[in-house]
Structure 1
Amino acid sequence: MAANAYFCTKINRLKIASYNVNGIRAAIRKGFLDWLVLAGPDVICLQETKAMKEQLDLEAFEKAGYPYHYWFSAEKKGYSGVAILSRQRPDHVAYGTGIGYMDAEGRNIRADFGGVSIMSLYLPSGTNIARLDHKLQYMADFQAYVDSLKREIPELVICGDYNICHRPIDIHDPVRNKNVSGFLPVEREWIGNFIDSGFIDSFRHFNPDPHHYTWWTYRAGARAKNKGWRLDYGMVSRPLEDRLARSVILPEARHSDHCPIMLELSESY
C-alpha cells in the first residue's frame, strides 16, 4: 500500500492545523517549532509567512517531523505568503490558483492526500478603500475558482485567515465594528454565501458559544481581555461532513497576533 493511502485511510484521525504566524521567522524565535512538535498535526497550513523559502532553515522543519514542506511566497519580499507542512508526501501540490493578481501575493497553496485536498488560504484585508476593492474582487474570483475546483475535487478543506468575522458572535464588539473591514455587511454576506455554496464552518459545527476568537490586536491588552475577532476558519466541504470529528481553537499558542486552529477528520472507510 502506498504511504499516502496509509496516511489518509488507516490512521484514526487526520489532524489538520492552520496558523497565521505573522512572520514565520519571528514565530520560530517565539517557540513555534516547539509548539508544533507538541501539537503534532499531520498537516499544518501557514499564512502570512513573510519569507522566501531560501531565507529559512528548512532542516529545522524536518527535524520537527515535517520533511515535506511547500512554500508559496509573494513577489514582494516580507509580505503575505502561505505554506503547507506535512508528515507525509502529498500526491500533488498546487501553487496558487492560476489567477495572476492573486498568485503575485502568495495567498493560496493546496496539497492533495488521497481523495482529500487541503488548501492554505490567506484572504486579503481591506484596510483602505483601494484594498477593500481588491479584497472584494478577490472574494468574487476565489468563489468562482472554488466552485470549479469542487467539481473536480469534492473533498476539500480550506483552512486559513479569511479576514472576515461571519456573525456578531465572532467578534467582541459587533456594534462598534459594524463599519470596519472584516465585519462589513458585504464581507459577512460573502462568507455566508461561501458556506452555503457547500462548506461547513467546522468550529461552529461543534461549538455555538461566544467569546472564541483567533486574532487580537496588540494594542490595549486586547488578548489578555479576550477582545478579539474570529478570522481563521477550517472550512470543510459537505462531502466530508460524516468524517468531521473535531474542530478547536488553540488560544494558548502565542507566537503571533493570531492563534492556531485544529480540525480532525475521522478514518475513511
Structure 2
Amino acid sequence: MKLISWNVNGLRAVLTHDFMTTFNQLDADWFCVQETKMQEGQASLDLPGYHQYFNYAERKGYSGTAIFTKHEPLAVTYGIGVPELDTEGRVITLEYPNFYLITVYTPNSGSDLKRLAFRQTWDQAFLAYTNALAEKKPLVYCGDLNVAHHEIDLKNPASNHHNAGFTDEERQDFTTQLDAGYVDSFRHFYPDQTDIFSWWSYRFSARSRNAGWRIDYFVASSDFVPFMTDAAIHNEVLGSDHCPVELTVDPTLLEAK
C-alpha cells in the first residue's frame, strides 16, 4: 500500500495544472496534502473511491491541509487540541484499528526568523500530541516539516546555516522528536543518499540546478517501522515548489488484530 504527501502550495492553483494526472498516476491509498490555501467550498475534487477530509485555516488563502483516502477511518481529528495553535488548519489525524496517520504542515520560522519562537512552541506541542497517540498504537505522520535535519538534506548547508528551516533550534527540535522514539523513513531506507530533495526555491533557477532542501517527510513511531517497505521522493513531479514524497507499507497494516 502507498502513502503520498505533497505540499501543493495552493490546491486550487495546482488543480489547473496536472494535479489530477499526478494523483491518478501515483494511485495512493492515502494522499496527504499541505498548504491547500483554500476555504470550504472554494474547490471541488472528483475523486471516486476516496474519502476527503479538509482542515482550513481561519485566515483566507493560507496554510490548510487535506487527506484523500481509499480507507475510511474510525475517527478523524482536526488540530492538536491547543486552541492558540489550531487556527491555521495544520493537522489532520485519521485513526484506524492498528495505527494513526497524521498529516502536518509545520509553521515556517519566516524571514528574519520572526516566527521562530512560535515554531518552537509548535514543535513542543506537536511532540506532546504525537507522544500521547503513540502510547496507544503505532503512528506515522507526514508533511512539510519545514526543516532540513542534517547537512546532507540540503544543497548549500554553509550558506543557509541560521536561515529558516536550517537553524540550530529547528534541527535540534527535530532531533528531539526522533530521539523520543520516531524514525525518518527516507533515511531509514537510504541513510547516505545525497542530492535528493523535495523543495526548491522559485528563485535563482534552483530546481533546474537541483539546489534544493529535503523538508518533506514521513516520520514513524518505532513500532510502525516493521510495516514500512520502502520510501521515495518524486522529484520528477512538477506543479509546486515541492514534490511528492512516498512511503510504502505492508498491507497487513490494515488487517484487524
Q: TM-score, normalized by length of structure 1?
A: 0.90
Kept after mapping to 1: 8 A contact 2:113/2:163: no
RMSD, aligned α-carbons: 1.2
Runs of 4+ with deviation above 6 angstroms: none
| Residue number in structure 1 paired with 2:161 | 178
Of Structure 1 and Structure 2, which has the larger fraction of its residues in helix? 1
Listed as ranges, the matches of 1:190-229 within 5 Å are 190-207=173-190, 208-229=192-213
| Residue number in structure 1 paired with 2:108 | 125
1:220 counterpart SS class: coil
Shift of residue 91 of structure 1? Answer: 1.4
Matched positions, count: 251
The answer for unaligned runs of 5 or more in structure 2 is: none
TM-superposition CA deviations, 1:46-81 (whole Å, max 9, x none): 1000011311113x2x24x42x00000000010000
What is the aligned counterpart of 1:30 among 2, 5, 17? 17
1:113 aligns with 2:96: yes
| Residue number in structure 1 paired with 2:123 | 139
TM-superposition CA deviations, 1:78-121 (whole Å, max 9, x none): 00001110112111111111111221011100112331211000
- Percentage of identical aligned residues: 36
Listed as ranges, the matches of 1:96-111 within 5 Å are 96-111=79-94
Identify if the C-alpha distance between structure 1 residues 181 and 129 changes in structure 2 by more than 3 Å, giving closer, same or farther.
closer
Amino acid at match of 2:197: Y
| Residue number in structure 2 paired with 1:8 | none
In structure 2, what is the Cα distance between the partners aligned to 1:175 and 1:23?
30
In structure 2, what is the Cα distance between the partners aligned to 1:146 and 1:54?
30
What is the aligned counterpart of 1:155 among 138, 141, 159? 138
In structure 2, what is the Cα distance between the partners aligned to 1:174 and 1:140?
25
| Residue number in structure 2 paired with 1:49 | 36
The answer for unaligned runs of 5 or more in structure 1 is: 1-13
Shift of residue 267 of structure 1? Answer: 3.0
Q: TM-score, normalized by length of structure 2?
A: 0.94
